[in-house]
Amino acid sequence: MSEGINAALEFRNVDILFDRGNRRGAIEAALARLDAGETREEIGRALKVTVGVAGANLAVARGEISVLMGLSGSGKSTLLRAANRLNRPIRGEVRIGNGLAWLDIARCDDDTLRTLRKTRIAMVFQQFGLLPWRTVRDNVGFGLELRGMAPSIRRDIVAEKLELVGLANWADAHVHELSGGMQQRVGLARAFATDADILLMDEPFSALDPLIRRKLQDELLDLQKRLKKTILFVSHDIDEALKIGSRITIMREGRIVQTGTPDDIALRPVDDYVAEFIRHMNPLPTIVAAAVMRRFQDLPRRPDGMLDGGRIAIAPDAAIATIADRALAIRSHGAWTQGALCVVPAQLSLGEIIALRQRSGLPVLVEAEGRLVGLCDDADILQALCGEARFRAG
């Protein structure tokens, strides 16, 4: 697999089944039925075996944030937990690059597994998983303590990681004195403390209220720019997935439905299930100017040679713009003043475009690679908001 070469973590044909009935041979029988194409409802009813994940293939590249998305019960957490064998795959490999060789987490011995968990793979939990009788410092140092590191060395590392998540003044507090958002920062610091290169995040922000959630997402993205971890992130929130994911994998009933970049998912959903997720996303932070704008090359020409942008007219070289034959100044969006046309970068979000359109009362011009390439007026914004056509451009 060509993708595998750069992958830090790779799932290959992973099946995860849970035996609820403890009957001898139930798992083997379930695998046979799975291979014969039976659905997981049929298998569950007949054998009391739950199919958590079936036939999952996924490569997570070094330094990327890969998001697993799906409804509850879709197997996303189950698959994530296979990455450090909290769930052990019945079949298939979970490979992690170890020096020059691959190591199969699903089959390695217990000592190797513990070493991997102590040094390579850290985890952040939805319910934080902090030890309530310990101080923040001792929670963050937990992983290092398990390694047998001396308290004096531990202390410095813990202080550094607490600094990283902005909790330097809270080292001696007890966990229950902290708000939910702060508790999850402790969870993050604990995961960073072991300097693991792979981070598993199991709906880490789902238990937080929306404002705090967004703040922590921003902080995570900010930290990721510096730390460049390989992150596998489970979410049931499409906005979260689109915001933080460099790749998104959609799961349904234990199977992977689609894997791709956020654009792939948003613009080219493979089926109705994926499209349904996209329909419910919040377009304001997600859709960018490039996808909203009408491109200059698509605009009709007026008799005088200017491009017809509806309310405004623009010279083909995009040097002059007029409204009702009155010339308009063109200013970039940092230096914009009242009465001038505002120029924004192609990656600006729809929400910000709307704000600028509202303040200027004029269409917003879009710039890419130093050239003006398109404009967004009310009709374009409305079209982007109402769906369907919003996905036309990349």
Report how many residues bind another protein under the rule CB under 8 A: 28
Please check whether residue 85 is in contact with residue 106, taking contact to mean a CB–CB distance below 8 angstroms.
yes
State yes or no: residue 133 binds another protein (CB under 8 A).
yes
Nearer to another protein among residue 123 and residue 313 (C-beta)? 123
Q: How far apart are CA 363 and CA 380, in angstroms?
A: 10
CB-nearer residue toward another protein: 118 or 331: 118
CA dihedral 157, 159, 165, 168 (to 10 degrees): 180
* Residues numbered 190-229 forming contacts with another protein, rule: CB under 8 A: 190, 194, 200
145/253 with CB nearer another protein? 145
> What is the rounded (10 degree) CA torsion for 235, 203, 110, 198?
70
Q: What count of other Cβ atoms lies within 10 Å of the Cβ of residue 380?
A: 24
Q: Which is nearer to another protein, 207 or 393 (CB)?
A: 207
* Binding of another protein by 122 (CB under 8 A): yes
Minimum distance of another protein from residue 309's CB (angstroms): 56
The minimum distance between CB 348 and another protein, in angstroms, equals 39
Q: Is 52 in the site for another protein (CB under 8 A)?
A: no
Name the one range near another protein by CB under 8 A: 38-46, 123-131, 235-243, 302-310.
Answer: 123-131
Separation of alpha carbons 211 and 191, rounded Å? 23
**What is the C-alpha to C-alpha distance for residues 91 and 104, in angstroms, rounded to an integer?**
12
Stretch that binds another protein, among 130-138, 254-262, 319-327, 364-372 (CB under 8 A): 130-138
Q: Is the Cβ of residue 39 or residue 112 nearer to another protein in the bound state?
A: 112
- The CB-of-71 to another protein minimum distance in angstroms stands at 21
Listed ranges 52-60, 63-71, 91-99, 115-123: which one lies at the site for another protein (CB under 8 A): 115-123
The interface region with another protein, picked from 96-104, 120-128, 284-292, 305-313 by CB under 8 A, is: 120-128
Parallel, antiparallel or unpaired: strands 198-202 and 49-61: unpaired
Which 72-101 positions form the footprint of another protein (CB under 8 A)? Answer: 84, 86
Tell me, rounded to whole angstroms, the distance of Cα 318 from its chain centroid.
37
Interface segment toward another protein; rule CB under 8 A; list 139-147, 150-158, 216-224, 338-346: 139-147
Smallest separation, CB 113 to another protein (Å): 8
Residue 186's nearest CA partner among 209, 163, 154 is 163
In one-letter notation, the amino acid at residue 124 is: V
The H-assigned helical ranges of 60-174 are: 76-82, 110-119, 136-140, 142-147, 151-164
Distances (CA, A) of 363 to 187, 317, 341, 372, 388: 45, 18, 7, 13, 22
Q: Identify which of residues 143 and 309 has a Cβ nearer to another protein in the complex.
A: 143
Name which of 84 and 258 has its Cβ closer to another protein.
Answer: 84
Q: Which of 18, 102, 125, 273 binds another protein (CB under 8 A)?
A: 125
Closest CA to 266 of 279, 284, 251: 279
Q: Of 118-126, 220-228, 302-310, 362-370, which part binds another protein (CB under 8 A)?
A: 118-126
Is residue 117 a contact residue for another protein (CB under 8 A)?
Answer: yes
With contact defined as beta carbons under 8 Å apart, do 291 and 376 qualify? no
Question: The dihedral of CA 332, 352, 260, 125: what is its sign?
Answer: positive
Q: How far is the CB of 121 from another protein (least distance, A)?
A: 8
* The Cα angle at residue 59 between residues 104 and 164, in degrees rounded to 5: 90
Task: Quote the least distance from Cβ 94 to another protein, whole Å.
Answer: 14
Contacts of 183 (CB under 8 A, 6+ apart): 128, 130, 175
Interacting residues toward another protein by CB under 8 A: 84, 86, 113-119, 121-123, 125, 127, 129-131, 133, 142-143, 145-147, 174, 176, 190, 194, 200
